[in-house]
Amino acid sequence: MKVAVFSAKSYDRTFLERANAAQGHELVFLEPRLTRETCALAAEFPAVCVFVNDPLDAPVLTALARRGTRLIALRCAGFNNVDLAAARDLGMTVVRVPAYSPYAVAEHAVGLILALNRKIHRAYARVREGNFALDGLLGFDLYGQTVGIVGTGKIGVLVARIMKGFGCHLLAYDPFPNAECEALGVDYAALSDLFVRSDIVTLHCPLTPETHHLIDARALDEMKPGVMLINTSRGALVDTRAVIRALKSGKVGYLGLDVYEEEANLFFENLSDRLIQDDVFARLLTFPNVVVTGHQAFFTRNALEHIAETTLANITDFEQGRPCVNQVSVDRLRK
Ligand code: NAI
């Protein structure tokens, strides 16, 4: 099948081409993101393959459908960037990669916790300058701390497992509690109770209209002074302006982000020769107790192999008219 691969980086090409040896699709790699301005590039392609920051809103989907696209193959798990109702109305199929390596994301979240606590980002810079002073690098034992996990799906449960290994107390909030978490001794609580009791709050739920700005000024007010907040899920779970106010007051003591609500214009590109125009993001970078990574939690060799293999298998299922287990649709979500 002819597939226009948008937002294609060298690593996408490497892993997709390798996996395609077994599938034989005609892949055309396009560097731009798929937007209203670039969707003409997909003319005559029955399938487009996209990533997290390609906005598949109704106008983009309509323009694609008009030019013959019938399949949207997401090479990611989250599908908050797709207007699923519009896709259904246009008769388009949307497939995704529901799990490629939950380990990659869980391990990165824990990496942020460790880096922030022991100030590894600061120590790295200091030692390279010949500064071996320890002032300002004081951390705390993770042992005995209370970690609040919001969302205990594939990633959240792994975070629970790892943090249990450190000897942490585990709290969680999820509308659908996970039996494995319960067996681990995770204590499910109401969201506001989790905010009140946790030393570390880590977000592993999807971005939906209900979870948009789940962490807002009110939620932050409920948290412990000096709380650590980790977000490796989707940027818009957090009201960044409210968090900046909480960092300035000391209410938030540590912030680890792999995602940012306005990341689409920043992440995945080398902008080191340009000036950052996003003042909110620039302010975040001024805090010594903030570590931001550019949506790299998924980025392991293992995950990229799974993403490529599953994406191409999804496309083959569609081409051969087979039901695809990885299809995502509004109707399925409502069930
Ligand atoms: P999953 O679907 O296995 O688990 C999500 C969990 O969140 C489910 O248990 C669900 O019941 C729960 N949930 C739904 N609404 C909730 C709410 N209002 N409050 C609390 N929990 C709620 O998803 P998975 O694989 O664990 O991924 C979680 C998120 O991580 C994805 O939605 C995606 O946004 C993000 N992600 C980030 C990556 C990165 O590179 N930074 C890579 C992959 C995923």
Count of structural domains, the chain:
2
pLDDT of amino acid 330: 86
pLDDT of amino acid 266: 94
Each residue of 198-235: pLDDT tens digit? 999 999 999 999 999 999 999 999 999 999 999 999 99
Q: Is 172 in the same domain as 260?
A: yes
pTM score, two decimals? 0.93
Q: Is 193 in the same domain as 70?
A: no
- CB-based contact 123:107 (threshold 8 Å): no
Each residue of 165-207: pLDDT tens digit? 999 999 999 999 999 999 999 999 999 999 999 999 999 999 9
Q: Is 279 in the same domain as 315?
A: no
- Asked whether the predicted pLDDT for residue 25 surpasses 50, the reply is yes
- The rounded distance, in Å, linking the Cα atoms of 286 and 293 is 14
- The rounded distance, in Å, linking the Cα atoms of 106 and 254 is 18
Catalytically annotated residue among 25, 96, 261, 263: 263
Select from 205, 207, 263 the residue to mutate for testing ligand 1; criterion: most ligand atoms less than 8 Å from CB.
205
Average pLDDT over residues 72-87: 95
Each residue of 286-326: pLDDT tens digit? 999 999 999 999 999 999 999 999 999 999 999 999 999 99
Each residue of 241-287: pLDDT tens digit? 999 999 999 999 999 999 999 999 899 999 999 999 999 999 999 99
Q: Is 131 in the same domain as 237?
A: yes
Amino acid code (one letter) for 158: L
Ligand 1 environment, Cβ below 6 A: 77-78, 99, 102, 105, 150-156, 173-176, 204-207, 210-211, 232-234, 258-259, 295, 297-298
Please, what is the end-to-end C-alpha distance for the chain in angstroms? 31
- Mean predicted lDDT score pLDDT of the chain: 96
Q: Is 119 in the same domain as 151?
A: yes
272 Cβ neighbours under 8 A, 6+ residues apart: none
Q: Is 279 in the same domain as 144?
A: yes
pLDDT of amino acid 78: 87
* Residue of the CA atom closest to atom 12 of ligand 1: 151
| 134: its two tokens | 């320890």
Q: Is 20 in the same domain as 40?
A: yes
- CB-based contact 96:152 (threshold 8 Å): no
* Residue of the CA atom closest to atom 2 of ligand 1: 153
What is the CB neighbour count within 10 angstroms for residue 309?
A: 19
pLDDT bin (cut points 50, 70, 90) of residue 333 is low
Q: Is 295 a catalytic residue?
A: yes
Average pLDDT over residues 26-43: 97
- Output the domain CATH number for residue 77: 3.40.50.720
pLDDT bin (cut points 50, 70, 90) of residue 22 is very high
- The rounded distance, in Å, linking the Cα atoms of 187 and 121 is 32
For tokens 């990633």, name the residue: 155
- CB-based contact 201:180 (threshold 8 Å): no
Q: How far is the CA of 152 from the centre of ligand 1 (A)?
A: 8
pLDDT of amino acid 109: 98
Q: Is 77 in the same domain as 164?
A: no
pLDDT of amino acid 171: 98
Q: Is 79 in the same domain as 155?
A: no
SS (H, E, C) the chain: CEEEECCCCHHHHHHHHHHHCCCCCEEEECCCCCCCCCHHHHCCCCEEEECCCCCECHHHHHHHHHCCCCEEEECCCCCCCECHHHHHHCCCEEECCCCCCHHHHHHHHHHHHHHHHHCHHHHHHHHHCCCCCCCCCCCCCCCCCEEEEECCCHHHHHHHHHHHHCCCEEEEECCCCCHHHHHHCCEECCHHHHHHHCCEEEECCCCCCCCCCCECHHHHHHCCCCEEEEECCCHHHECHHHHHHHHHHCCEEEEEECCCCCHHHCCCCCCCCCCCCCHHHHHHCCCCCEEECCCCCCCCHHHHHHHHHHHHHHHHHHHCCCCCCCECCHHHHHC
- The rounded distance, in Å, linking the Cα atoms of 86 and 180 is 36
Q: Is 304 in the same domain as 278?
A: no
Find, among 68, 71, 73, 66, the residue nearest to 93 by Cα: 71
pLDDT of amino acid 335: 43
Domain that holds residue 235: 102-292
pLDDT of amino acid 100: 86
| Percent of the chain scoring above 90 in pLDDT | 96
| 193: its two tokens | 């109770």
96 Cβ neighbours under 8 A, 6+ residues apart: 73, 74, 76, 77, 79, 314, 326, 328
pLDDT of amino acid 281: 98
Average pLDDT over residues 13-38: 97
Find, among 239, 238, 241, 232, the residue nearest to 294 by Cα: 232
Catalytically annotated residue among 234, 261, 306, 309: 234
pLDDT of amino acid 28: 98
pLDDT bin (cut points 50, 70, 90) of residue 81 is very high
Q: How far is the CA of 228 from the centre of ligand 1 (A)?
A: 19
- The rounded distance, in Å, linking the Cα atoms of 249 and 230 is 18
Q: Is 306 in the same domain as 185?
A: no
pLDDT of amino acid 334: 54
| 290: its two tokens | 């903030």
Q: Is 84 in the same domain as 190?
A: no
- Asked whether the predicted pLDDT for residue 71 surpasses 60, the reply is yes
Amino acid code (one letter) for 2: K
Each residue of 113-163: pLDDT tens digit? 999 999 999 999 999 999 999 999 999 999 999 999 999 999 999 999 999
